[in-house]
Chain A
Amino acid sequence: MTTTQTTPIIGQATRRVTGPLKVSGQATYAAEFSKDFGPELAHGVLVTTMAASGRISSIDTEQAEAAPGVVKVFTHLNAPELPYEEPVMRPQVQPQVGDPLRPLQTDQIFFSGQTVAVVVAETLEQAEHAATLVRVTVDETAADTDLHAAHQRPEADEKQDTPRVSAPKKPAENGKMTGRPSDVTVGDPDAAFESAAHTVDLDVEIKTLVNHPIEPHATIAWWEGNTLTVHDKTQWVDNARHKLALAFGIRQEEIDLKVDALNTVKDAVEGVLGVQESSVRVITPFTGGGFGSGLRTWPHTFLTAMAARELDRPVRLVLTRAEMFTSVGHRPHNLQRVRLAADADGRLQSVIHEGWQETSLYEEYTMNLLNTTRMAYATPNLRTTYRLVPLNIQTPTSMRAPGECSGAHALEVAMDALAYEIGMDPLELRRRNNATHDVQGTPFSSKHLAEAYDLGAEKIGWADRPLAPRSMRDGDDWVGLGVSSTFYPANRMKASASARLLPDGTAQVHSAASDMGPGTYVSMTMVAADTLGLPLDKVKFALGDSDFPHAPVHGGSMTMASVGPAVKAACEAAIQAVIELAVDDDASPLAGASADDVRLEHGELIGPGGRETLMAAVARHGEPVEATASLGPNKLQALMPSDYAFHSYGCVFARVRVDARTGEPRVEKVVAVNDVGKVINPTTAASQTIGGVVMGIGMALMEEAILDPNFHRYANDTLAEYHALTNRDAPEIEAHFVGEPDYELNPLGARGVGEIATVGTSSAVVNAIYHATGARVLSLPATLDKLL
């Protein structure tokens, strides 16, 4: 007798399967595999430069090398030259133009905080001490980190070799490569702007923000012959594996093929090449946050693997919190100008949105800064202009809703300003301009934004809100209510999974996916259990191992929409394999039936002649039954030709209080309502939404990496001075969902949750601050000095 599940699991609020491990500290994050090694494990510590531009003229390691316990000091003078081969196709997470920083392969300094040496010692304390003894002298050249000044320079032409403002190169050649075109024009936006009844013209600034997962980035690497194994804090083990293989020039073909063929199932890959073992393996079962910082594979990971190879022993390297500001990317500082025009009824006539965003001198980081503007509201005339400004900073990277978060903030603040220019309720303005298709005319797959507006308005008490700003006072506080729409593209990429049904009545499901916190473990377990008709505790889902079937990047809110359908398909393939065994087995009640006539219902195989449980058939077979499946588009769904534009939609309502005496703003309550298609696990979907809101409040009120204009270095590079929201800062937050499964996107109908709630929060908060005080904050964060 085997156990089956007779009620649905998908859609039911479900506790995390990783919960007991996490609350007892037993979930093992990358740096914590130290326990497997003992004293053989050496410790690496980085040395970074203060200078922001120039060339290293000398580097004195003598004292450091003589310090107790030091094994070796690597600099650009003695580090081995590594191949760092170019991939056949760069993944989306890597800039398409420029070259990644190759640590210790050059004497050139691009930014303050760049790694110039790594000290390896027997113990962490010895390495930390010795790192302070390395003396670096840089022949400095003038550095530029001033986005305000730089963005006003004339645009680059090919004759100029000094960094200037430029349109993104690759998208200019082929916008379809990244989906981030430099210039898009629809209709005649200038003429429409000039002749409209109501206009607003705003300059918005969003300062540098830093991802700051609480787990610092960390790597443990070791070699056995030519085989490299790495524990690395990453959101994509397959990409880390690929990048490490390219860096060291090892057995590139089969690894490229795995990524290139984007998950042709692993067996097939091995069949083609006759390869039995991979030569690089990345194992990261737990990732302590990331919010984008783990998409790419960063210099310290290569350095750790290099040191391990040169020293022929395992090496562990953990970034310090200060290094987390300058080693693993950040949300780039950007300036935007938004012009909106509407007719007397509040119908948009023109939208002109320009953005200037910093990037590094060595790579062209692009993000979806203006993409939201091209789909958010119905308008006959529109122009978006996207420009990059190379500065002496590290290459920025994705931070939760990269681009959308900054761009939609400016758009939504401008929408609020336009409502007040017209004298119209800001929610009504949004309702009036609710779009059915994007500016290219592609219809949305499934959109329930109007319902979200209704529900959110009810939950926050919008109907009682007086229109005029500075009209709600409670004691010493001005009180305000603000709203923002929120949008995020629904993406999907090819993913693979394997399902193995065991004679003991349990199932093992694998995919090289990640779980940085959204609950991939529990949601995939739910999908598998639901598909197999098994109770949750009979299914074990594992991820974070590059030897598992390929998964796309754990970012862009697409893990559920990509890996979920692969898990479902792998389970269905395993069920089919069992059916074929059963109909051929005289001992089965299904013997002799056509496999096509047998179906699975609540864990039972039902055929014309009888029924038995799926796992009873597996048990009788006596051997595991395994199947793999791979499905989804080869490129990001958003870049594929389609009849539909796929997005998620929602709104965020915020109630704030601003102390009339001190100007201190506090968020009192937030209601987030999102249409994300099918919600697989309401528990974790709500947590993701709440987490996105918390990060959005931080962006609105306090987060800012302050760049010292003289030293070109972040002046507040600690968590004490870079203010992330604390518990006391976090208000009551309601997360609601509307809508229906979006089966146009994938067989589960799920569109992903992680990023959409971050997008609208900052704008809802500053719009609420305007309502409370009458002060329109255009440069984030909205600190109290801007409200006095």
Chain B
Amino acid sequence: MSPPSTVSVTITVNGEAQRLDLDPRASLLDTLRLGLDLNGTKKGCNQGACGACTVLLDGERVNACLVLAVTCDGQKVTTVEGIGMPDNLHPLQDAFVEHDGFQCGYCTPGQIVSGVALLAEAASGQPSVVDVDLSPDSAAQLSDEEISERMSGNICRCGAYPGIRAALRQAAQTIQPARA
């Protein structure tokens, strides 16, 4: 087998265009963490089961471990670093701190990115299985059941789920969701 050659792509990460020569086997997750030193996006299972690596890819949440980075040429990626940093937290990040929606903090960036996407999804009327009538109104209301259903792709082994729900409830009321 001949050694795989690299592939050149340009990916816009948190608003900055990154020209990258990539091993075609590299996941978007490993590219962010090892290639760009953006360690905010976490690796928990590398199998799409835990949600710790959630990022926004052209505004939609994806598990970065299941995305090959070479497929992202020309796309926009938003990581937790692009959502807010310690001196300039996004209201959802602040709500996580206020409601203690984490303990160890390792799954937290994935929860935050998922939460930001969730608010946009609900505002745009995307239904979940909780909405038996699939009505946009029901989706937008974000009951606790809606929040927990829509956040169930992100495992928190420390079990901070009630705090996560409280943070999402607060953020849903205080911020006007916008597509990232």
Verify that A and B bind, or say they do not. Answer: yes
Once the chains bind, are A289 and B49 in contact (CB under 8 Å)? Answer: no
Contacting A727 at CB < 8 Å: which of B85, B97, B161?
B161
A684 and B147 CA atoms in complex are apart in Å by 23
Q: Which residues of A contact B37 (CB under 8 A)?
A: 34-35
Q: Which B residue's beta carbon lies closest to that of A26? A: B86
A506 smallest CB distance to B (angstroms): 18
A579 and B29 CA atoms in complex are apart in Å by 54
Contacting B105 at CB < 8 Å: which of A22, A34, A35, A683?
A22
Does B155 interact with chain A (Cβ within 8 Å)? yes
A288 and B103 CA atoms in complex are apart in Å by 8
Q: Which residues of A contact B3 (CB under 8 A)?
A: 68-69
Q: Which residues of B contact A730 (CB under 8 A)?
A: 148, 159, 161-162
Contacting B159 at CB < 8 Å: which of A28, A126, A725, A728?
A725
Known: A19-B97, A718-B49. A691 touches B43 (CB 8 A): no
Q: Which residues of A contact B84 (CB under 8 A)?
A: 23-24
Q: Which residues of B contact A725 (CB under 8 A)?
A: 159, 161
What is the number of residues of chain A that contact chain B, defined by CB distance less than 8 Å?
66
Does B127 interact with chain A (Cβ within 8 Å)? no
Contacting A688 at CB < 8 Å: which of B30, B87, B103?
B103
B81 smallest CB distance to A (angstroms): 6
Does A320 interact with chain B (Cβ within 8 Å)? yes
Known: A68-B3, A125-B30, A214-B106. A694 touches B159 (CB 8 A): yes
Once the chains bind, are A691 and B159 in contact (CB under 8 Å)? Answer: yes
Once the chains bind, are B50 and A214 in contact (CB under 8 Å)? Answer: yes
Interface set, chain A 384-399, CB cutoff 8 A to B: none
Counted as pairs of residues, one from A and one from B, with CB atoms less than 8 Å apart, the total is 200
Known: A35-B37, A214-B155. A21 touches B104 (CB 8 A): no
Contacting B47 at CB < 8 Å: which of A124, A692, A718?
A718
Q: Which A residue's beta carbon lies closest to that of B3? A: A68
Q: Which residues of B contact A732 (CB under 8 A)?
A: 162
Interface set, chain B 13-50, CB cutoff 8 A to A: 23, 25-26, 30, 33-34, 37, 39-50
B25 smallest CB distance to A (angstroms): 4
Q: Which B residue's beta carbon lies closest to that of A324? A: B45
> Which stretch in B107-115, B135-143, B172-180 binds the other chain?
B107-115
Interface set, chain A 10-51, CB cutoff 8 A to B: 15-16, 18-29, 31-32, 34-35
Known: A125-B23, A321-B44, A690-B162. A27 touches B105 (CB 8 A): yes
> Which stretch in A350-358, A513-521, A536-544, A604-612 binds the other chain?
A513-521
A197 smallest CB distance to B (angstroms): 41
Once the chains bind, are B105 and A288 in contact (CB under 8 Å)? Answer: yes
Once the chains bind, are A15 and B98 in contact (CB under 8 Å)? Answer: yes
Known: A16-B97, A35-B37, A687-B100. A23 touches B112 (CB 8 A): yes
Q: Which residues of B contact A686 (CB under 8 A)?
A: 100
Q: Which residues of B contact A31 (CB under 8 A)?
A: 43
Interface set, chain A 726-776, CB cutoff 8 A to B: 726-730, 732-733
Interface string of B85-107 (1 = CB under 8 A from A): 11101000110111010111111
Q: Which residues of A contact B134 (CB under 8 A)?
A: none
Contacting A321 at CB < 8 Å: which of B46, B104, B158?
B46
A385 smallest CB distance to B (angstroms): 33
Once the chains bind, are A694 and B43 in contact (CB under 8 Å)? Answer: no
Does B160 interact with chain A (Cβ within 8 Å)? yes
Once the chains bind, are A25 and B39 in contact (CB under 8 Å)? Answer: yes
A516 smallest CB distance to B (angstroms): 6
Interface string of A150-183 (1 = CB under 8 A from B): 0000000000000000000000000000000000
A693 and B50 CA atoms in complex are apart in Å by 20
Contacting A518 at CB < 8 Å: which of B50, B103, B162?
B103
Q: Which residues of B contact A215 (CB under 8 A)?
A: 42, 44, 104, 106
Q: Which B residue's beta carbon lies closest to that of A519? A: B103
A24 and B30 CA atoms in complex are apart in Å by 18
Contacting A720 at CB < 8 Å: which of B25, B47, B79, B152?
B47
A423 smallest CB distance to B (angstroms): 36
Q: Which residues of B contact A16 (CB under 8 A)?
A: 97, 100
Q: Which residues of A contact B159 (CB under 8 A)?
A: 690-695, 725, 730
Once the chains bind, are A32 and B33 in contact (CB under 8 Å)? Answer: yes
Once the chains bind, are B25 and A129 in contact (CB under 8 Å)? Answer: yes
Once the chains bind, are B42 and A726 in contact (CB under 8 Å)? Answer: no
Q: Which B residue's beta carbon lies closest to that of A684? A: B100
Once the chains bind, are B105 and A18 in contact (CB under 8 Å)? Answer: yes
Once the chains bind, are B25 and A288 in contact (CB under 8 Å)? Answer: no
Once the chains bind, are A516 and B100 in contact (CB under 8 Å)? Answer: no
Q: Which residues of A contact B148 (CB under 8 A)?
A: 727-728, 730
Interface set, chain A 272-291, CB cutoff 8 A to B: 286-289, 291
Q: Which residues of A contact B109 (CB under 8 A)?
A: 23-25
Does A380 interact with chain B (Cβ within 8 Å)? no
Contacting B103 at CB < 8 Å: which of A25, A34, A289?
A289
Does B156 interact with chain A (Cβ within 8 Å)? yes
Q: Which B residue's beta carbon lies closest to that of A13? A: B100
B149 smallest CB distance to A (angstroms): 5
B117 smallest CB distance to A (angstroms): 15
Interface set, chain B 33-71, CB cutoff 8 A to A: 33-34, 37, 39-50, 52
Q: Which residues of B contact A32 (CB under 8 A)?
A: 33, 39
Once the chains bind, are A726 and B152 in contact (CB under 8 Å)? Answer: yes
A722 and B109 CA atoms in complex are apart in Å by 23
Does B154 interact with chain A (Cβ within 8 Å)? yes
A681 smallest CB distance to B (angstroms): 10
A632 and B98 CA atoms in complex are apart in Å by 34
Q: Which A residue's beta carbon lies closest to that of B94? A: A23
B54 smallest CB distance to A (angstroms): 11
Does A123 interact with chain B (Cβ within 8 Å)? yes
A403 smallest CB distance to B (angstroms): 20
Which of A686, A728, A733 gathers the greatest number of chain B CB atoms within 10 Å?
Answer: A728
Once the chains bind, are B49 and A28 in contact (CB under 8 Å)? Answer: no
Contacting A20 at CB < 8 Å: which of B34, B81, B89, B106?
B89
Known: A26-B85, A687-B160. A727 touches B34 (CB 8 A): no
A731 smallest CB distance to B (angstroms): 9
Does A587 interact with chain B (Cβ within 8 Å)? no
Known: A24-B84, A29-B106. A719 touches B160 (CB 8 A): no
Once the chains bind, are B161 and A694 in contact (CB under 8 Å)? Answer: yes
Does A113 interact with chain B (Cβ within 8 Å)? no
B133 smallest CB distance to A (angstroms): 19
Does B80 interact with chain A (Cβ within 8 Å)? yes
Once the chains bind, are B93 and A24 in contact (CB under 8 Å)? Answer: yes
Once the chains bind, are B34 and A34 in contact (CB under 8 Å)? Answer: yes
Q: Which residues of A contact B157 (CB under 8 A)?
A: 212-214, 289, 291, 695, 724
Interface set, chain A 490-517, CB cutoff 8 A to B: 516-517
Given contacts A15-B100, A21-B86, A23-B93, 16 further A-B contacts (CB under 8 A): A16-B100, A26-B86, A29-B42, A124-B34, A125-B30, A215-B42, A291-B157, A321-B47, A321-B50, A691-B103, A691-B160, A694-B161, A719-B155, A720-B49, A726-B153, A727-B164
- Where the two chains meet, the residues of B that have a C-beta atom closer than 8 Å to any C-beta of A are 3-4, 23, 25-26, 30, 33-34, 37, 39-50, 52, 79-81, 83-87, 89, 93-94, 96-98, 100, 102-109, 112, 145, 147-149, 151-165
- Where the two chains meet, the residues of A that have a C-beta atom closer than 8 Å to any C-beta of B are 15-16, 18-29, 31-32, 34-35, 68-69, 123-126, 128-129, 212-216, 286-289, 291, 318, 320-321, 516-519, 683-684, 686-688, 690-695, 718-720, 724-730, 732-733
Q: List 25 A-B contacts (CB under 8 A).
A: A15-B97, A16-B100, A24-B93, A24-B109, A25-B39, A26-B81, A29-B106, A123-B34, A213-B104, A213-B106, A214-B42, A215-B42, A215-B104, A286-B105, A288-B42, A288-B104, A321-B45, A517-B104, A687-B100, A718-B49, A724-B155, A727-B149, A727-B152, A727-B156, A728-B149
Q: 6 shortest A-B CB distances, which residue pairs?
A: A25-B40, A694-B159, A288-B106, A22-B105, A517-B103, A517-B104
